[in-house]
């Protein structure tokens, strides 16, 4: 067994270890852990601690993938819902669809008994409104949000350059690989924007026969390259984990137009080898790692490429 996750996973990483040690299937163990991240206000890129969209509304994304069956459940731009990874698991279990978004996802949550959650942290609301006050005239503020938003899409983006996600990858006691993601998305995003976190093959992919991968930071880039699927497909074609990740990095670096930013790749193969790399990121990037037999999880530093 093994567990790999990005630095924001700290509130729930040990919980997922407990679940894996107890024999729980990978997806379920990861949803348990990621639920603690979604509730933690100190994590400023996921769930309650995250940032709202441009009009001040929280829209959260999440996905789960079972690498043994390759079943997927994903939700995007979900309002008023904190445990979005758990909701994504219900999409996988209950619906013939892979992804449900927006008000449809909230309707599903209500049908299944999920409460309406308060997901906008007061400090996030304060920072969002203070930034708007700096950018808009008194007339525009009075009319907000019934004003053109496109001119603001670059001006007020990301108060702390938060484009992160929480990603968990695991190999369970049955040798199944799984991936689970959750995020509040790009801060100050245009309403309805989806990043890579709910998109299969971009922000995550798992195939128990070969490997699994998940990405954080600039989802606009990994969606264009299908980064997570690139890695798993390369493993299927016989490449080493190192070569598979290098191929994905090469594809990302080939992008010259559009929005270019940092990307962090987390990857494992079926033999439980792992690799975490960052490109275009400022400063060190950390991640969490645990393998069966280790007394405690370790916080490690990603390779900077």
Model confidence pLDDT, tens digit, residues 249-263: 999 999 999 999 999
Q: Are strands 166-171 and 2-6 parallel, antiparallel or unpaired?
A: antiparallel
Task: Note whether 286 and 4 are within 8 A (CB).
Answer: no
* Integer Cα distance of 203 and 180 in angstroms: 10
The confidence score (pLDDT) of residue 144 equals 94
Is the distance from CB of 138 to CB of 166 less than 8 angstroms? Answer: no
Read off the pLDDT band of 124 (50, 70, 90).
very high
Q: What is the pLDDT of residue 156?
A: 63
Whether 161 has a pLDDT exceeding 60, the answer reads no
**Residue bearing the bigger pLDDT, 162 or 296:** 296
**Using CA atoms, how far apart are residues 244 and 236, in angstroms rounded to an integer?**
10
The Cα 281–Cα 87 span in angstroms is 31
Alpha carbon distances (Å) from 49 to 52, 211, 214: 10, 31, 21
pLDDT at 195: 93
**Which pLDDT score, from 0 to 100, does residue 154 have?**
74
pTM of the model: 0.96
pLDDT at 157 > cutoff 70: no
Per-residue pLDDT tens digits for 168-215: 999 999 999 999 999 999 888 999 999 999 999 999 999 999 999 999
Average pLDDT of the segment spanning 102-119: 97
Task: Please report, in angstroms and rounded to a whole number, the separation of the first and last CA atoms in the chain.
Answer: 28
CA distance 175 to 38: 27
Phi then psi for 87, rounded to 5 degrees?
-65, -40
% of the chain exceeding 70 in pLDDT: 97
What mean pLDDT is predicted for residues 83-108?
A: 98
Please give the mean pLDDT across all residues of the chain.
Answer: 95
Each residue of 14-39: pLDDT tens digit?
A: 999 999 999 999 999 999 999 999 99
DSSP labels for the chain? -EEEEEGGGTTTHHHHHHHHHTT--HHHHHHHHHHHHHH-TT-TTSGGGS---TTS---EEEEEEETTTTEEEEEEEE-S-S-HHHHHHHHHHH-S-SEEEHHHHHHHHHHTTPPPP----HHHHHHHHHHHHHHS-HHHHHHTTSS--TTHHHHS--TT-----EEEEEE-TTS-EEEEEEE--STTPPTT---STTSBTTTEEEETTTEEEEEEE-HHHHHHHTHHHHHHHHHHTT--HHHHHHHHHHHHHT--SS----EEEEEEETTS-EEEEEES-SS--EEEEEETT-SS-EEEEPEE-
Which domains, and CATH codes, for the chain? 2-304 (3.60.20.30)
Catalytic residues, by residue number, are 165
* CB-CB neighbours of 224 under 10 Å: 18
Is there a contact between 286 and 301 (Cβ–Cβ < 8 Å)?
Answer: yes
Question: Is the Cβ–Cβ distance between 115 and 106 less than 8 Å?
Answer: no
Per-residue pLDDT, averaged over 100-111, amounts to 98
Whether residue 278 contacts residue 294, with contact meaning beta carbons closer than 8 Å, is answered with: no
């Amino acid at each position: 067994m093994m567990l790999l996750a990005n630095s924001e996973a700290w509130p729930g990483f040990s919980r997922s270890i407990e679940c894996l040690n107890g024999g729980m299937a990978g997806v379920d163990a990861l949803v348990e852990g990621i639920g603690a991240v979604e509730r933690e206000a100190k994590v400023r890129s996921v769930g309650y601690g995250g940032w709202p969209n441009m009009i001040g509304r929280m829209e959260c994304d999440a996905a789960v993938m079972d690498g043994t069956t390759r079943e997927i459940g994903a939700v995007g731009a979900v309002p008023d819902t904190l445990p979005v990874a758990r909701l994504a698991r219900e999409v996988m279990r209950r619906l013939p669809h892979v992804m449900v978004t927006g008000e449809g996802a909230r309707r599903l949550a209500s049908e299944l008994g999920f409460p309406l959650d308060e997901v906008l942290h007061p400090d996030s609301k304060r920072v969002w409104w203070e930034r708007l006050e700096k950018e808009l005239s008194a007339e525009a503020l009075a009319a907000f949000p019934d004003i053109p938003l496109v001119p603001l899409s670059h001006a007020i983006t990301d108060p702390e350059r938060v484009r992160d996600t929480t990603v968990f990858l695991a190999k369970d006691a049955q040798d199944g690989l799984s991936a689970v993601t959750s995020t509040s998305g790009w801060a100050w995003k245009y309403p309805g924007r989806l990043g890579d976190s709910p998109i299969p093959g971009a922000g995550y992919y798992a195939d128990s026969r070969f490997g699994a991968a998940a990405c954080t930071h600039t989802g606009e880039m990994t969606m264009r390259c299908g980064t997570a699927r690139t890695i798993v497909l390369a493993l299927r074609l016989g490449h080493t984990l190192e070569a598979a990740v290098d191929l994905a990095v090469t594809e990302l670096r080939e992008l010259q137009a559009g929005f270019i930013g940092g990307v962090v790749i987390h990857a494992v193969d079926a033999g439980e080898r792992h690799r975490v790399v960052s490109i275009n990121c400022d400063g060190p990037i950390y991640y969490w790692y645990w393998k069966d037999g280790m007394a405690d999880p370790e916080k490690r530093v990603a390779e900077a490429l």
